[in-house]
Amino acid sequence: MSAPNHFDLLATDGPARAGRLTTPHGVVRTPAFMPCGTAGAMKGVHWREVRDAGSDIVLGNTYHLMLRPGAERIASLGGLQHFTGWNGPMLTDSGGFQVMSLSELRKVSEQAVTFRSHIDGTRIELSPERSIEVQLLLGSDIAMQLDECVRLPAERSDIERAMQLSLRWGERSKRAFETAAPGYMLFGIAQGGDDAELRRASARGLVDIGFHGYAIGGLAVGEPQAVMLAMIEEVAPILPEARPRYLMGVGTPDDILEAVARGIDMFDCVMPTRNGRHGMAFTRFGQINLRNARHADDPRPLDEESAWPSTNGISRAYLHHLVRSGETLGAMLLSEINIAYYQRLMADIRDAISRGTFADFRERTRTGWAKGDIAPR
Amino acid sequence: MSAPNHFDLLATDGPARAGRLTTPHGVVRTPAFMPCGTAGAMKGVHWREVRDAGSDIVLGNTYHLMLRPGAERIASLGGLQHFTGWNGPMLTDSGGFQVMSLSELRKVSEQAVTFRSHIDGTRIELSPERSIEVQLLLGSDIAMQLDECVRLPAERSDIERAMQLSLRWGERSKRAFETAAPGYMLFGIAQGGDDAELRRASARGLVDIGFHGYAIGGLAVGEPQAVMLAMIEEVAPILPEARPRYLMGVGTPDDILEAVARGIDMFDCVMPTRNGRHGMAFTRFGQINLRNARHADDPRPLDEESAWPSTNGISRAYLHHLVRSGETLGAMLLSEINIAYYQRLMADIRDAISRGTFADFRERTRTGWAKGDIAPR
């Protein structure tokens, strides 16, 4: 059963793709990076800054939002986009990943995953049907199927069992999604751990079911980058060219560059905001630790060639002082600076693909990172 | 010895005054409220928001800045205004108050106060001369004399001793300030605790020395509002009409209204940002606790008649959710909302004084606060 397609493939450059995904709340230029607004907020960043930085779409976490403030409440308040004031495209995960990583006393059965809330201990059952119901209540532009993500390393039999369960949950998720309004999308998620054969089987199973788009899950959980890239190389060729491909939870700028080179269109990661809260800045010189004493007397900005005001207009000395003093403003500025860096990277990637110069861009960008930061003043 | 005057008294309405204070970094409309950027940052608020909210001047804390990143470093980085990117008028306190409240092993002598840094335990001597030197290094538009502030209640003899010491430190501060560039200002500080006679003696002593402006210190430290207002009534009539008057560390919107009614021109307080971090919003309906469950389903903004975007455009339900979830964005939004409320109040006060309708404005404003918040939806 084919689902309507809202993705336009605009250009390719080798396996790298540039496209446009049309959602009920707006258009997403791909390759796209989705900053994570976990519980309905981007940590330390105003929504207008997220948008100004060039973000077309953001991610919300179903697990957090269903526990607090609750899906029914968000629905009655006009949906997640209106509730938060972001008012643009939003993708929500299924809740499954956070159930595994945050909740207690979880139990996976064929029917559902059962867990206790990490907030108040309430016992909650999350089935594929309830996950979709919650995501529809949130008004998510792109919902994700419920899946089971196995921690690596794991026995092949465990990986296979979880992958097969995820396929059955994918089918149930799709049936539950039939009531969604036109234009809203559901993505299936390929599992299979670090096993090439299981990954391929998962991808084929998903394509047989038929989704608006396809995600690769269960990666970026600590495995070497080479394993992650190898799994993408197994899965991507099986996925329909006309559909968007989303690599979940990835990653560093280098991970993104390499995954785009293997045909991925969408990414999400907490890294820009989380690392920003820890005094780290992403720049074309690589990642810079503002806690380092080398910045204490440096009046220069992080990168005077950046177009982002906080990147080209605020001294390293001031950022260093804010980070060392534990001032909220330091985390706020670095989070915003990092989101802007990621979105600039995505814009440059899209541009390079459209011009057919992606391989060159990838080389130049990696060379810049490898060269490292400018010398201390 | 008279100091040059940079204050223009533009209108009076009873004892209330509207004026204009011209500093090297810009003009300050009075009555003015100075948000506190303690360690070179406004907690949870971008500088552009501080300005957009209508702030003409902000306060920096000498104690914090001299310890980290250091006055000499800030001087070499172009001064506090340039270092922080605020780039507008700044007033710094003398450091004395924080020495009393934050540091350890402090010892007051005729010469100086000696203390250990709360950051790294370094032994530091702060004399009137060093305090002025630090404030000149910071590039503060308005420096404050070093004073000794006694915790109330206290013996009259202790209050008198500290007041007399503060007068002698005021003279030394003035001599040390003689090297300041034209246009920079030094304010004396009246002490005297809750003793009317000592307050008057302090004010007269300061006027004899001659400062660019005069502050009332040692209030808003827990005493009843009536005591604070009584002390203002003792001191204000003694101060020269042509000079700006600053009530340090004050206060609630009601404190400000009452102090303006008694002839005060300048205020500073951490309350807008500190209370914002604790889920409290200042509004024309009084102070509102966003943690309260009554807001959980309320789609209405805090005040739809406010001109400030976050006050009129963000739902109570969303603010409630952010506060309950401990999201930084909640503290960021409420801090900004509160600074904007304070600055709107100051603008309305200035306007009412200019029109000669301050008494009426004061009544209406207090009635609004007393009526309380709008009913839950």
Per-residue DSSP letters for B77-111? Answer: TT-HHHHHS--S-EEE--SHHHHHHH-EEEEE-SS
Alpha-carbon gap, residue A271 to A252, rounded angstroms: 7
Dump pLDDT digits (tens) for B239-276.
999 999 999 999 999 999 999 999 999 999 999 999 99
The single-letter code of the amino acid at B218 is G
Mutate to test the interface with B, among A52, A63, A77, A291 (most CBs of B within 10 A): A77
Report phi then psi at B67, rounded to 5. -80, -40
Paired strand residues for B59 = B36, B91
Q: Which structure tokens are listed for A225?
A: 């980058």
Please indicate whether residue A359 or residue B117 has the higher confidence score (pLDDT): A359
pLDDT tens per residue across span B177-190: 999 999 999 999 99
Confidence (pTM): 0.97
Task: Compute the average pLDDT of residues A69-81.
Answer: 98
From B96's Cα to the closest Cα of chain A, the distance in A is: 20
Nearest-CB residue to A324 (from B68, B83, B327): B68
For chain B, give the percent of residues with pLDDT over 70.
100
Give the residue-averaged pLDDT of A107-131: 93
CB within 8 Å: B329 and A46: yes
Q: B102 pLDDT band (50/70/90 cuts)?
A: confident
Closest alpha carbon within chain B to A298 = B77
**Alpha-carbon distance values, A306 to A113, A252, A312, A334, A366 (Å):** 46, 19, 6, 14, 17
Q: What is the pLDDT of residues B108-138, one digit of tens each?
A: 999 999 999 888 889 999 999 999 999 999 9
Q: What are the phi and psi torsion angles at B9 (to 5°)?
A: -85, 115
- 3 state SS for A215-229: EECCCCCCCCHHHHH
Buried b (16+ CB within 10 A) or exposed e, B263-274: bbbbbbbbbbbe
Residue of A nearest to B298 (CA): A77
Q: Percentage of residues in chain B with pLDDT exceeding 90?
A: 92
* Interface contact flag, B325 A77, Cβ < 8 Å: no
Q: Which amino acid is at A65?
A: L
Q: Do residue B329 and residue A43 have CB atoms under 8 angstroms apart?
A: yes
- Cα(A81)–Cα(A88) distance, integer angstroms: 6
Q: Which residues pair with A16 in a beta bridge?
A: A13
- What's the rounded Cα separation, in Å, for the pair A191 and A164? 9
CA distances from B152 to A346, B99, B224 (A): 60, 17, 11
Please enumerate residues of A whose Cβ is less than 8 A from a Cβ of B: 39-46, 64, 68-69, 73, 76-78, 83-85, 296-297, 299, 313-315, 317-318, 320-322, 324-325, 327-332
pLDDT of residue A96: 87
Asked whether residue A103 carries a pLDDT value surpassing 90, the answer given is: no
Q: Where are the alpha helices (DSSP H) in chain B?
A: 47-52, 62-67, 71-76, 80-84, 96-102, 128-138, 156-176, 196-209, 225-235, 253-260, 271-277, 309-313, 316-324, 328-355, 358-371
Decide if pLDDT at A105 tops 80.
Answer: no
Between A221 and A247, the more confident residue is A247
Cβ–Cβ gap A317/B42 under 8 Å: no
Q: Angle at Cα A21 formed by Cα A18 and Cα A27, nearest 5°?
A: 110
Is B2's pLDDT higher than 80? no
pLDDT of residue A106: 85
DSSP bridge pairs for B162: none
User: Residue A1 has what pLDDT?
Assistant: 54
Between CA A36 and CA A202, with CA A229 as vertex, the angle to 5 degrees is 85
Q: Which of B308, B284, B287, B311 is nearest to B300 (CA)?
A: B311
Q: Which chain B residues have any C-beta within 8 angstroms of a chain A C-beta?
A: 39-46, 64, 68-69, 73, 76-78, 83-85, 296-297, 299, 313-315, 317-318, 320-322, 324-325, 327-332
Q: What does residue A10 show for φ and ψ, rounded to 5 degrees?
A: -95, -30
Per the residue annotation, which of B13, B147, B255, B268 is the catalytic one? B268
Give the model's confidence band at B106: pLDDT under 50 very low, under 70 low, under 90 confident, else very high.
Answer: confident
- Decide if pLDDT at A139 tops 90: yes
Q: Do B40 and A297 touch (CB under 8 A)?
A: no
Whether A350 shows a pLDDT value over 80: the answer reads yes
Going from the C-alpha of A56 to that of each of A10, A33, B35, the distances in angstroms are 17, 8, 35
Cα of B292 to nearest chain A Cα, Å:
14
In chain A, which residue's Cα lies nearest the Cα of B336?
Answer: A46
Closest CA to A33 of A264, A369, A187: A264
Please identify every residue of A annotated as catalytic: 93, 268
Q: Strand, coil or helix: what is A196?
A: helix
Whether B328 and A41 lie within 8 Å, measured CB to CB = yes
Q: What's the average model confidence in pLDDT over B152-167?
A: 95
Cα angle B303, B308, B313; round to 5: 60
Looking at CA atoms only, how far is residue A5 from chain B in angstroms?
33
Tokens 């809203």, residue located = A184
Residue in chain B nearest A293 by alpha carbon = B69
* Displacement of CA B67 from its chain's centroid (Å): 21
**DSSP for A25-83?**
TEEEEESEEEEB-TTSS-TT--HHHHHHTT-S-EEE-HHHHHHTT-HHHHHHTT-HHHH
Asked whether residue A92 carries a pLDDT value surpassing 90, the answer given is: yes
- Give which of A58, A81, A329, A336 to mutate to test B binding, by max B Cβ within 10 Å: A329
With an 8 Å Cβ cutoff, are A45 and B329 in contact? yes
Residue A78: its chain B contacts at CB < 8 A? 299
Determine the pLDDT at residue B1: 54
- ipTM for the predicted complex comes to 0.97
- Label the pairing between strands B185-190 and B213-216: parallel
**Integer Cα distance of A135 and A94 in angstroms:** 8
Contact of B273 with B281, CB cutoff 8 Å: no
Q: Do B327 and A43 touch (CB under 8 A)?
A: yes
CA distance A108 to A294: 50
- Chain position carrying tokens 């939003």: A90
The tokens describing B336, both together, are 């900004």
Chosen from B117, B138, B298, B325 to mutate, greatest number of chain A CBs within 10 A: B325
Answer whether B214's CB lies under 8 Å from B232's CB. Answer: no
Among the partner residues B41, B83, B328, nearest to A43 by beta-carbon distance: B328
Cα A288 from Cα A282, distance rounded (Å): 6
Residues 6+ apart with CB under 8 A from A303: A283, A284, A285, A311, A312
How many Å apart are CA A53 and CA A44, to the nearest integer?
14
CB contact under 8 A, A77 and B315: yes
- C-alpha distances (whole Å) from B320 to each of A69, B316, B324, B330 are 9, 6, 6, 8
| Cβ atoms of A158 and A89 closer than 8 Å | no
Amino acid at B69: P
Size of interface A-B (CB pairs under 8 A): 108
CA A131 – CA A96 distance, rounded (Å): 9
Q: Nearest chain A Cα to B76, which residue?
A: A297
d(C-alpha B190, C-alpha B206), whole Å? 7
Dihedrals phi, psi of A19, to nearest 5 degrees: -155, -170
How confident is the model at residue A37, as a pLDDT?
95
**Which chain A residues are closer than 8 Å to B45 by Cβ?**
329
The beta-carbon neighbor of B40 closest among A77, A78, A321 is: A321
